[in-house]
Chains A and B, each alone.
Chain A
């Protein structure tokens, strides 16, 4: 059993290493098969290993691999409990489907082998992150995810925009990681350990309210960086520069869910600080609303989905912040299904349109790509929150739990409801502009359905998006039951009573339906084309936040770096080093004057020295 859990991580790692050294020789499509197989087998192993948890009540186990940093009492240990099992299943399951899809999507790319090398590294990192039994392993996975996202986003590095996007993602993530690292130091300082077990069990007795708040808020900074929340979300829309499967992987199965997972995992710390919980929920609600408004104005099909991801992550943060941990993780799972589907569908559309991503040049694709269209419709309904599809159940569990906290949380609930309406609207806008109306294709574009390696994963994800929500319904909370052992230390927020639940669900369904109808009237009945000018341009540019950050943070940062590089480094540091060299040189030139080559003057020097020493001994040494 322990070996099984080790294999779950070791297999993608082995795939990564094999492709790293032999990827080029294996080539296409072998590299894709190797990568998909390793991840797929990991998924099967995770299913087998996770079987015990289905009965409920099982606490799981830790698998100790080796002593890592003995002086800190830090070991390379895996934790296999319901939460990490759930995450492992999502990561490997959705990851494997995306891998298979990529075999078709990346067909003919000169970097085919390299692509799957990075993809396997990504899966490995993410598995380390979710399986670690202490903050040390979590941090290693956390950083490796940052690295592999950088490699994948800038996969087409010869394109300057892709290289810049990769750098941006990396730098913004580093800002978050900095907060995370400080949080880890605070935790170690307070507990003398980084093990989940000792930290969470001792949290209530050890931490003062102030320390708990500080740790929780710093953890939030880290989570906001990884999970693209306000104000660190800016890297995610640009991450669309990577190949579409990468977007699907980053947005659905891995990376962005890391922050949500981390907050859920550390729920015991957030519970101790009502301030931190409220901050997380507020950040989530604001991000959800804010990103949804931007998504309305996008032209690029992938950027719509990018902002949509940010918005949906906001929901997850609302959930975990309000201590509805199951709700947050539940939405993470369903979102992984329908967002992976949406991205892969969008990739299929882009593939069909020969690389065109502008919705202004699509339209009328319904008949041309029937499978893609049908599967995307399911995802569209799922994300819009229409029952019985997946998104409805998870989103409403979060919203109902937030509502049930009462007080100021009811305002945040209202924000969530408005966002639900906006979500339905912008998703419908995207669908209508892409699949309905008159074709606006460029000359010479002949849309065609994608190959089977791409459509089969779409169908699988469509199935999951359709029924995935049923794993946790109010009358049969299987997921809650499943995750209970992982969250038993946390006093979770529960759902309100049945009548209130139905009323709240009705409100949110109404919001979704209104969003759909408004979009239908606008884009189908009146056949409104892609809007331009005025406020739409502001939305298109994401409220010019990039410019704002550029002026207020990036420019001063660059100026400071210039000062450091060309003044502090070149003049001060290099100056000191060169100065030492110059000093020695100068002293040598002066002293070399003594070397006259006159033997007798040397002799005089020696004699003088001897006399001097003797005199000194007589005077200072008190005679012989």
Chain B
């Protein structure tokens, strides 16, 4: 039994460790699908955040199962880097939108293979 999850089991509902993994996988899949299917840069950005958080969830779940801290530290790093990334990314998107009046990545494609 994972100590951190012990409280959840008081009212008889048991949360198995692999449920966290399954949830993370689903979140990751949603994020990936959003990234590939949507054209709006802002939405794609949100999808990426979703995928990052799916990974964070995996880290925390597996870490508490193993009783170690490294994974949780990694999560902090991921969150810090993601925050920085969002700042820069949003700034770019806003700047591009001002210039080209669109946020659709397909219309922004400049390379011609």
Q: Which residues of A pack against B, CB within 8 Å?
A: 592-600, 603-604, 607
Contacts and interface: CB of A to CB of B under 8 A. Distances in A.
A600 B35 CA distance: 7
A114 B37 CA distance: 82
A598 B109 CA distance: 6
A607 B109 contact: no
A593 B112 CA distance: 8
B113 A600 contact: no
A294 to B, nearest CB: 77
A596 B109 contact: yes
A599 B109 contact: yes
Contacts of B106: 598, 600
Interface in B11-41: 32, 35-37, 39
Nearest to A592: B113
B26 to A, nearest CB: 16
B36 A595 contact: no
Most B CB within 10 A of own CB, among A592, A595, A597: A597
Contacts, number: 32
A594 B35 CA distance: 19
A603 B36 contact: yes
A8 B112 CA distance: 76
B113 A597 contact: yes
B105 A595 contact: no
A607 B113 contact: no
A599 B105 CA distance: 7
B111 interface: yes
Interface string B86-113: 0000000000000000000110011111
27 contacts: A592-B113, A594-B113, A596-B109, A596-B111, A596-B112, A597-B109, A597-B110, A597-B111, A597-B112, A597-B113, A598-B105, A598-B106, A598-B109, A599-B44, A599-B105, A600-B35, A600-B36, A600-B37, A600-B39, A600-B44, A600-B105, A600-B106, A603-B35, A603-B36, A604-B36, A607-B32, A607-B36
A249 B105 CA distance: 86
Nearest 9 A/B pairs, CB to CB = A597-B111, A597-B109, A599-B105, A593-B113, A596-B113, A595-B111, A595-B113, A603-B35, A598-B109
A156 to B, nearest CB: 65
Q: Which of A593, A598, A599 has the most CB of B within 10 A?
A: A599
Contacts of A600: 35-37, 39, 44, 105-106
A179 B80 CA distance: 77
Given A597-B110, A604-B36, 7 more contacts: A594-B113, A598-B105, A599-B109, A600-B39, A600-B44, A600-B106, A607-B36
Contacts of A598: 105-106, 109
Interface in B30-60: 32, 35-37, 39, 44
B45 to A, nearest CB: 11
Nearest to B112: A597
Contacts of B110: 597
Contacts of A597: 109-113
Nearest to A604: B36
Nearest to A611: B32
B93 to A, nearest CB: 12
A595 B109 CA distance: 10
A623 to B, nearest CB: 15
Contacts of A593: 113
Contacts of A592: 113
A599 B35 CA distance: 9
Contacts of A607: 32, 36
B89 to A, nearest CB: 12
Contacts of A604: 36
Contacts of B39: 600
Nearest to A591: B113
A593 B113 CA distance: 4
Contacts of B37: 600
* Best-buried of B35, B37, B110 by chain A (most CB within 10 Å): B35
A592 B105 CA distance: 20
B87 to A, nearest CB: 20
A604 B111 CA distance: 17
Nearest to B41: A599
Contacts of B36: 600, 603-604, 607
B102 to A, nearest CB: 14
B62 to A, nearest CB: 11
A513 B105 CA distance: 111
B11 to A, nearest CB: 33
A268 to B, nearest CB: 78
Nearest to B47: A603
Nearest to B33: A607
A595 B105 CA distance: 14
A30 to B, nearest CB: 72
Contacts of A595: 111, 113
Contacts of B113: 592-597
A607 B34 CA distance: 12
B96 to A, nearest CB: 12
A562 B28 CA distance: 69
B52 to A, nearest CB: 14
Contacts of B109: 596-599
A600 to B, nearest CB: 6
A599 B106 CA distance: 7
B97 to A, nearest CB: 15
